[in-house]
Amino acid sequence: MFPGKEEESTGQDQELSLRRIVSFYPRLNLKLADASIVVFDLETTGLDHRRDFIIEIGARKITAGKLSGEFATMVNPERELPAQVEKITGITQDMLEGQPIIRKVLPEFFDFIQGSLLVAHNAVFDMGFIRFHAGLMGIEFDWPAFCTLKMARELLPDLKRKNLDTLAEHYGLSFEARHRSIGDVKVTETVLQQLLSQEGSYLKTWQDMEAFRV
């Protein structure tokens, strides 16, 4: 269903357990201009990936500089949605009823990102959720990702704040829908394009992105 390999291990009770590894290892000299890059964003029930749950995943795939795919789905967390989350995101409990659960969504997301670099704003947060919830499914998620927040900290030192709202204002961008995955993804995508074409124009290959990886 999705890329990876299975490794077998035998416990003390001699029962066979299977661990699936989902991985991608790009060439260090891979040119960013030629690469497939998936910009993604999660909405969650909170900030702690060990206790909270993903309720929306949005992603856009850019291949050689052109949009080549989009992935967007809500995720039923199978529990009541906190009122504060409804207020921030506009996502309601009713909107999540009947939506697929994370065990169904993650394999589809892994199919979508095949062969692509991942990027998110504050990617440590998003990758933490993906890796943890994949782990609950017996999946080790070993995937290359980098972070536009890290890039902004390095490339825009004079900008007082580096959150997505501030970067959007800095580059004259507006949100289609703030705190909704695809809306945030579209702004992150343009922020990335601006960083790579302006302040980070010297960043040409995957190797050049080492300082911004997560």
Task: Return the active site residues.
Answer: 179
Residue 29 phi, psi (nearest 5):
-90, 10
Element (H, E) at 116: none
In single-letter form, the type of residue at position 8 comes to E
For residue 159, the 8-state DSSP code is S
Q: What values do phi and psi take at 121, rounded to 5?
A: -90, 125
Residue 14 has a CB neighbour count (10 Å cut-off) of 6
- For 17, phi then psi, to 5°, come to -120, 150
Is residue 205 helix, strand or coil? strand
What is the rounded CA–CA span in Å between residue 161 and residue 156?
9
Query: What is the Cα 104 distance to its own chain's centre?
Result: 17
* DSSP-assigned letter for residue 4: -
E strand or H helix at 42, and its extent?
A: strand 36-44
